[in-house]
Structure 1
Amino acid sequence: MKLAADTLGNLSPEIVVPGYDRAALSHGIVHVGLGNFHRAHQAVYLDDLFAKGLDHDWALTGAGVRAPDGAMRQMLKEQDFLSTVIELDPAGTRARVIGAMIDFIEVDADNGPLIDRMTDEATRIVSLTVTEGGYFVSADTGTFDPSHPDIVADAARPEAPHTVFGAIVAALKARRAAGLAPFTVMSCDNLPGNGDVTRDAVVGFAQLIDLDLADWIEGQVAFPNGMVDRITPATGEGERALAARFGLDDPVPVTCEPFRQWVLEDKFPLGRPRLEEVGVTFTDDVHAYERMKIRILNGGHAVIAYPGALLGCELAHDAMAHPLVHAFFRKVEAEEILPHVHAVPEFTPEQYLELIDARFSNPAIKDTTRRLCLDGSNRQPKFIVPSVRDGLAAGISVDGLALLSALWCRYCIGHIEDGTAVAPNDPSWERLTATAARAKDTPMAWLEMRDVYGDLAQVPAFAGRFADWLGLIWAQGTEAALNAYLKEQ
């Protein structure tokens, strides 16, 4: 059955449908980046809140700034902006239809419709999932890069920007001129200090076009930091077939694990939905949660993904079931990542690791190692290199993390150990494959990617072990390298 507002009453009773009158919802949040994660996370929390009869004036309006977002808009519009969310629990798969979104702004290259909606007084929050690499962060400084070609182009035509940050600044400028208070800008991306990174991008762009406006934004606009978590695989034919087994015709269903978490700073001058009523944690100590999640979970994904992929494991839970990969994961986490993570009220680092082990091992998720290997050039500096630096500063082993870097380098050569080609899997894939080829004979070529490793090529405790591991991988293979590391005392 085609998913639509007028077919909800005809769906199978096992499918949970919105428990509220969607016609009574009104707009409060513009969300840019309608990928799977948002629809399995923020939209689900709001759906739960609306079902409690609360805060119906905080409904979502979707938005996008890339051409492919137009296709997503069309598909969601055809089903009245409803989304199928399927929770993949080993104890039983559950499906629900999410109704928290009530509109999706027309996608336009110059972002006029988006700027207009953000300028609307009813918009009190603008939230973002634009990927870790979408914030124009300089590899050299770790802060906003005003010299990026997309930013330079927007600064030359600030009235018709192509980037989300250009559009946000244009809307804030219009609100200021109209005497309206500024909306809150809330990142929902997996970035250390995501609110601070977003502030750098918005203020940094404004400084290119209007210093007075930039000062006003810096003083008046809130950018709460937050930590978000839910494993959400990409959608393919298998996911569409799963929706069909529930009797749903939905071209863009979302599948996800049962677990979810959201931790936020409570910085919302124009108000916010009462998300604490549906499990969101509001705290001034977001960074402790963020460090735990990014180091143990996101870092852990890399730890299992590269050796798993090289050994032919297509799915994450298969990598976890491989004795060597699982043992590598446990040792690296326990000895080289957990020492730099602090407890939060809900978990000690050791308890969180046990939770992550179970989540990664969930056979119902069918998350691919290819997805987890994606975009290493952006993810390694954020999820792995900080643990390396902390380990070096503390004088403890970083051998496993050096081996992980060698495994990533080996993966980027473009084929796995059985000879199967690896399709391009990084925005910088051509550069990575060329560098990996040079590193086969000159290992330091890999570590000299300063945007990833900074000065680590000059740190013998890391660089020497990386070179040793890469040589062993090429001489004897991934299994031999894993065995050698696991035998280390």
Structure 2
Amino acid sequence: MPAERLARDIRPPVRIAHLGLGNFFRAHQAWYTATAPDAARWGIAAFTGRSRPLATALTSQGGLYTLIVRGPDADRLEVIGSVAEAHPGDDIASWRTVLTRRELSVVTLTVTEAAYRRGRGGGLDDTDPDVRADLAAFRAGAPMVTVPGRLVAGLNARRLAYGGPIAVVCCDNLPGNGTATARVVLDFAGAAEPALLPWIRDNVSFVTTMVDRITPRTTPEDVASVAAAGRPDEVPVVTEPFTEWLLEGEFPRGRPAWDAAGARFVSDVTPHELRKLLLLNGGHSLLAYAGSARGLTTIADAVTDPTCRAWLDEWWDEAVRHVPLPAAELTDYRAALLERFANPRIRHTLAQIAADGSQKIPIRVLPVLRGERAAGRPATGAIRALAAWITHLRGQGAPITDDGAQPYVDRAASPRDVLTLLAPDLAADRDLTAKLDELT
């Protein structure tokens, strides 16, 4: 008999809205929701960033998809059923409608660091043309394209419909991501509809999280492997066995039993967030730029290259000094990262990780660079990571896919000029700029 496509008749009721329907969300938050013991009560209405094909494919499969958990030796296939509705990101009418539902309790986000449209001080970048266009669109009742704009539009619709309190849960790699999300939302609301501000302060909880699960892009070979196993699926997701989720904050209308699925609720995410941001994400960025410049393609390639591995250890030796966790825990975490990075069956490409470096370098590398220089140490590992990004801006290694890169590309011939734009407080450090010149 031919294999049947994924389909179903019964879906869980929508009590979560998600913005940023993509592979990481489907490997992480959707997986935790599907794995929770009360999964039958917590369906997700998920919206893409802007594209339609993924939403169309998931809708044709009743929201179901296959998660390929790829270990070093074998795959494990799981059908995930927590996505009850899939919508394209430009369907603003459905977004507003979903947010007005009184039974909706949670909004989650996986939209990348750049999507929050933050200015240099962390607030909303009101010079961004898309932000300015969205402010005008909000006043005119027209569709919006930015994440802050869409969040405020949805929250305003909820306010007008007396929808009640709700938790907003950022799952992107931003320090203090709950506070960061609150700030851009309040900034946008203050500029667009000041009457909304007190309602947000009284009714919206912004939850801070730390998320971790390596999720590479799905390839045609992955789609074929699922079909060969008797589960035709247009949009499977590949991920690693490891997963971690820490959350800090309040859920005024309840939440799934994510803790029963392995999530941890803590009083302070910050130390764990720093651990992941500096060691995993910072290590990824170093390998993405330095490894691709050496002709390597994947994280597994880079971490098994002796030169890249030495540079990674150098970076980690510096970074751990700025993570307030026990030394033994950090040593164990480094060992686990090496095992995860070296998994040859997870094809996590350096080009994918290299995207949006102008947003990532300031939060993944600069805190260590500043800390090391303030302590009078040479910061060779941090400088090397920054230098690798500068050579990337010059066209070496992975292609540049970064909307914010052009001002840095224009200055890439001079590391000092890049540093002046990126971190003016460091540009006067002559030893640092000399080392950058040497490494680039």
TM-score interval, normalised by the smaller of the two chains: over 0.9
Q: CA deviation at 1:328?
A: 1.3
Give the 5 Å matches for 1:311-460: 311-334=294-317, 336-343=318-325, 348-416=329-397, 422-436=398-412, 438-439=413-414, 443-450=415-422, 453-460=423-430
Deviations 1:375-414 (A, max 9, x none): 2111101111111112122222311211221122112222
Q: CA deviation at 1:315?
A: 1.4
Whether the 8 Å CA contact 1:106–1:114 is kept in 2: the answer is: no
State how far apart, in whole Å, the 1-side matches of 2:125 and 2:379 are: 30
Whether the 8 Å CA contact 1:392–1:461 is kept in 2: the answer is: no
User: 1:166: which partner in 2?
Assistant: 149
1:157 match: secondary structure:
helix
User: 1:142: which partner in 2?
Assistant: 122
Larger radius of gyration: 1
Q: CA deviation at 1:55?
A: 4.8
Q: CA deviation at 1:309?
A: 0.8
User: 1:308: which partner in 2?
Assistant: 291
Residue 6 of structure 2 aligns to which amino acid in structure 1? A
1:61 match: secondary structure:
strand
Whether the 8 Å CA contact 1:2–1:79 is kept in 2: the answer is: no
Residue 45 of structure 1 aligns to which amino acid in structure 2? Y
Residue 4 of structure 1 aligns to which amino acid in structure 2? L
Give the 5 Å matches for 1:19-418: 23=10, 25-49=12-36, 52=37, 54-66=38-50, 68=51, 70-105=52-87, 107-108=89-90, 111-139=92-120, 141-158=121-138, 159-162=141-144, 163-334=146-317, 336-343=318-325, 348-416=329-397
Whether the 8 Å CA contact 1:115–1:168 is kept in 2: the answer is: no
Segments of 5+ residues of structure 1 without an aligned counterpart are 7-21, 417-421, 471-489
Mean CA deviation greater in 220-229 or 401-410: 401-410
Change (3 A) 1:340 1:424: closer
User: 1:10: which partner in 2?
Assistant: none
Residue 400 of structure 1 aligns to which amino acid in structure 2? G
State how far apart, in whole Å, the 1-side matches of 2:41 and 2:282 are: 38
Change (3 A) 1:463 1:235: same
Q: Percent of pairs identical after alignment?
A: 34
Deviations 1:274-307 (A, max 9, x none): 1111111001111111011001100011222222
Residue 193 of structure 1 aligns to which amino acid in structure 2? G
Q: CA deviation at 1:458?
A: 1.6
Q: CA deviation at 1:106?
A: 5.3
Mean CA deviation greater in 262-271 or 425-434: 425-434
Change (3 A) 1:113 1:298: same
Whether the 8 Å CA contact 2:100–2:161 is kept in 1: the answer is: no
Deviations 1:15-59 (A, max 9, x none): xxxxxxx7262110011111100000011111111xx3x252211
Residue 281 of structure 1 aligns to which amino acid in structure 2? R
Q: CA deviation at 1:205?
A: 0.7
Whether the 8 Å CA contact 2:286–2:388 is kept in 1: the answer is: no
Residue 310 of structure 2 aligns to which amino acid in structure 1? A
TM-score of the superposition, structure 1-length normalised? 0.84
TM-score of the superposition, structure 2-length normalised? 0.93
Q: CA deviation at 1:107?
A: 4.4
User: Runs of 4+ in structure 1 displaced over 6 angstroms?
Assistant: none
2:78 match: secondary structure:
strand
State how far apart, in whole Å, the 2-side matches of 1:235 and 1:376 are: 22
Q: CA deviation at 1:137?
A: 0.6
State how far apart, in whole Å, the 1-side matches of 2:411 and 2:319 are: 27
Whether the 8 Å CA contact 2:244–2:263 is kept in 1: the answer is: yes
State how far apart, in whole Å, the 2-side matches of 1:424 and 1:106 are: 26
Residue 146 of structure 1 aligns to which amino acid in structure 2? D
Aligned length: 435
- For the aligned residues, what is the CA RMSD? 2.0
Change (3 A) 1:106 1:380: closer
Whether the 8 Å CA contact 1:317–1:361 is kept in 2: the answer is: yes
Q: CA deviation at 1:432?
A: 4.2
Segments of 5+ residues of structure 2 without an aligned counterpart are none
Q: CA deviation at 1:73?
A: 0.8
Q: CA deviation at 1:135?
A: 0.3
